[in-house]
Amino acid sequence: MREPKDSYLTNGYSLKSWLLTKDHKRIALMYLISISVFFFMGGLYAAAIRLELLTPGSDLLQSATYNKAFTQHGILMIFFFLIPSIPATLGNFLLPLMIGAKDLALPRINLLSLYLYWIGGLLTLYALMQGGVDTGWTFYTPYSTTFSNSYVMAVGLGIFINGFSSILTGLNFIVTIHTMRAPGMTWFRLPLFVWAHYATSLVMILGTPVIAITVLLLAIERVVKVGIFDPAIGGDPILFQHLFWFYSHPAVYIMILPGMGVISEVISSFSRKKIFGYEFIAFSSIAIAVFGFLVWGHHMFVSGQSIYAGLVFSFLTMVVAVPSAIKVFNWTATMYKGSISYDTPMLYAIGFLGLFLVGGLTGLFLGSVGLTVHLTDTYFVVAHFHYVMVGGQVIAYLAGIHYWWPKMTGKMYSEFWGKVSAMLVFVGFNLTFFPQFILGYQGMPRRYASYPAEFQVLNIFSTAGASVLGVGLLMPVVYLTHSIFAGKPAGDNPWMLPGLEWRTQSPPPTLNFDEQPVVTWEAYEFGEESGLDLEEARRAAGRPSVV
């Protein structure tokens, strides 16, 4: 295997060459490290919460501390890990490579969005160290405006600034996809990962300004006492919930669409089959982005909203589930009669299919007006959104990291440890969160440090599962880092795939391609004419045959 020539990694070693880079690949790596830090910090809070819930009494954390723990867990995980997770790292790194471009259309804006993320993140961390915040990640009024004495303003400002990072990333992706595609890269030859990011970007630029304004209004009321949400001075607390969920439901799609994009790539690649129903998957992403704006009221069924509004929101919630179901159907059909190889990314992708299905279907339970009255604010909701956010997006993110790691670093990680961690994550995850469906159904409310003794057994399962999950999530940090220094060279195209990102060197050169690529093939073209001999490649890399 030939030694990699100069690559984006060898183009300058000084701190300055990183901090002032305009290279989307370097920016992606800096994001990768930053979001990992936030992820593990959020994980520490999760560990504290699970430890507290090991016993019925509130013995480890007092209620006030417990409130801060789950609030800060949620804020770090959602705003500083999950929302940027795939777009800012894998999306940033791969979008230009996949469409045959030298970089994103607006490289300086890309660097600016990283800095905004850092500023927002540091401000939030500062607030947490000063004393933290206890409102829940949803900042519901009137508690957040009138009663809470915690650092609401500083955290709100951090989230406000971070929102602009998200908006600029979305803007950059849209401009890039419109203007930077290589000759021959037509819209319907785009990898589905790119379609997914296009849809995500639409939500980012249309939705994020709403949360920014909402946080701003909250600040105005807290400081200047203008009556916006507080009825005592002429406001309406329910208005906050409308504004918040008008962003935050679409935002759940910012948190899942990119993962769906990864899964489309991985399932097709490791089934060696053209993706089934390309157009359906592409347009279902757009449909999710559009319909996602019409269902916010399903978070407010018990807020006193009119029963007729509830019926409409319930119906629309069922509608928005259809495009996701279409995707799951098409992924399954892609695997049917494919020659499947169970490499680490594929193990994660198969895990995604099962877990996302559970997450999505239980969303339908919560979207049914009658049932949700029983389930709302219980552990059932907690289980539901963790199945989608962790079982969906985090698992997809891990699938993507393992899939493109050889491209990003030029090195192969230990397949053995990869598989072990995938299994631990899957088992640990289910052990943690499945019991919470039962707990919620039995009536255990969320957001309390103590609970009646009859709920203890299932909580012990959950905490035990969380420790397995924790080990499973820490392992990749070790073997992936190890691979950078001691991994085998991966070669340009270790999985023998047709996509453009695999047709350049690993790790890629600063300008991505040595010469301007011209696309003459369809997406996911594995046929004989593609000249991609997987068996040959696997033999050369000393990997087991798949037939």
Token pair belonging to 162: 């971070």
Which stretch, 252-260, 335-343, 451-459, 481-489, contacts ligand HEM (CB under 6 A)? 252-260
Q: How far apart are CA 72 and CA 368, in angstroms?
A: 30
SS3 412: strand
Give me the least distance between CB of 248 and ligand HEM, in Å please: 8
Q: Which stretch binds ligand HEM (CB under 6 A): 96-104, 262-270, 382-390, 533-541?
A: 382-390
Other beta carbons within 10 angstroms of residue 147's beta carbon come to 10
Q: Which residues are within 8 A (CB) of 73 and not within 5 positions of it... i.e. 6 or more apart?
A: 42, 45, 46, 49
Residues 125-154 that bind ligand HEM (CB under 6 A): 138
Q: Which stretch binds ligand HEM (CB under 6 A): 248-256, 423-431, 447-455, 529-537?
A: 248-256
Which residues are within 8 A (CB) of 526 and not within 5 positions of it... i.e. 6 or more apart?
272, 273, 274, 498, 532
Number of residues that bind Cu ion (CB under 5 A): 1
Nearest distance in Å: CB 311, Cu ion: 16
User: Which member of 31, 229, 291, 385 binds ligand HEM (CB under 6 A)?
Assistant: 385
397 or 513: CB nearest ligand HEM: 397
Q: Measured from the CB of residue 298, what is the shortest distance to Cu ion in angstroms?
A: 5
- 222's enclosing H/E stretch is helix 192-224
Radius of gyration of the chain (CA): 23
Among 26, 50, 189, 249, binds Cu ion (CB under 5 A): 249
389 binds, among ligand HEM, Cu ion, none (CB under 5 to 8 A by kind): ligand HEM
List, in sequence order, every residue forming a beta bridge with 489; answer none if it has no partner: 411
Residue whose beta carbon is closest to ligand HEM: 363
Whether the CB-CB separation of 87 and 258 falls below 8 Å is answered with: yes
What is the residue-wise DSSP string for 119-181? HHHHHHHHHHHHT---STTTT-TTIIIII--SSHHHHHHHHHHHHHHHHHHHHHHHHHHHH-P
- Measured between alpha carbons, how far is 282 from 330 in angstroms, rounded to an integer? 11
Asked, as a colleague might, if the bond just before 498 is cis with ω within 30 of 0, I would say no
Choose one: 42-50, 210-218, 373-381, 504-512; the region binding ligand HEM (CB under 6 A).
Answer: 373-381
- What is the distance of C-alpha 504 from the center of its chain? 27
For residues 363 and 476, which CB has a smaller minimum distance to Cu ion in the complex? Answer: 363
Single out the residue of 255, 396, 408, 497 in contact with ligand HEM (rule: CB under 6 A): 255
Among 86, 97, 104, 321, binds ligand HEM (CB under 6 A): 321
Nearer to ligand HEM by C-beta: 222 or 299? 299
CB of 389 to ligand HEM, least distance (A): 5
DSSP 446: S
Which residue type, as a one-letter code, is found at position 347? Answer: L
Short-list 419, 518, 531, 417, CA closest to 183: 518
Least distance between ligand HEM and beta carbon 194 (Å): 20
Exposed/middle/buried for residue 108 (C-beta within 10 Å: 0-12, 13-18, 19+): exposed
Q: Are 345 and 274 in contact (CB under 8 A)?
A: no
Instruction: Identify the residue among 299, 327, 411, 538 touching ligand HEM (CB under 6 A).
Output: 299
- Please give the residues from 349 up to 368 whose contact with ligand HEM meets the rule CB under 6 A: 360, 363-364, 366-367
Q: Which is nearer to ligand HEM, 358 or 389 (CB)?
A: 389
Give the whole-angstrom CA distance, residue 40 versus residue 470.
Answer: 10
- Tell me how crowded residue 393 is: count the other CB atoms within 10 A of its CB: 27
Binding segment for ligand HEM (CB under 6 A), chosen from 43-51, 340-348, 379-387, 409-417, is 379-387
User: What does the buried/exposed string (b/e) look like for 275-284 if buried means 16 or more CB atoms within 10 Å of the residue's CB?
Assistant: bbbbebbbeb
Site stretch for Cu ion (CB under 5 A), options 56-64, 197-205, 248-256, 326-334: 248-256
The entry of ligand HEM, Cu ion, none that residue 385 binds, CB within 5 to 8 Å by partner kind: ligand HEM
Sequence letter at residue 220: I
From 3-11, 57-65, 313-321, 410-418, span contacting ligand HEM (CB under 6 A): 313-321
Residue 364 near which of Cu ion, ligand HEM, none (CB within 5-8 Å, type-dependent)? ligand HEM
Using the rule CB under 6 A, which residue among 53, 104, 202, 388 binds ligand HEM?
388
- Which residue has the closest beta carbon to Cu ion? 249
Per-residue mark of binding to ligand HEM, 322-341 (x: CB under 6 A)? --x-----------------
**Residue 464, CB half-sphere, CA atoms under 13 Å: how many?**
10
Piece of 8-16, 141-149, 316-324, 399-407 that binds ligand HEM (CB under 6 A): 316-324
Does residue 507 have a cis bond before it (omega within 30 degrees)?
yes
In the list ligand HEM, Cu ion, none, the entry touching 321 (Cβ below 5 to 8 angstroms by class) is: ligand HEM
Position 384 contacts Cu ion (CB under 5 A)? no
Which residues contribute to the site for ligand HEM (CB under 6 A)?
Answer: 138, 252, 255-256, 298-299, 317, 320-321, 324, 360, 363-364, 366-367, 372, 375-376, 381, 384-385, 388-389
Which residues contribute to the site for Cu ion (CB under 5 A)?
Answer: 249
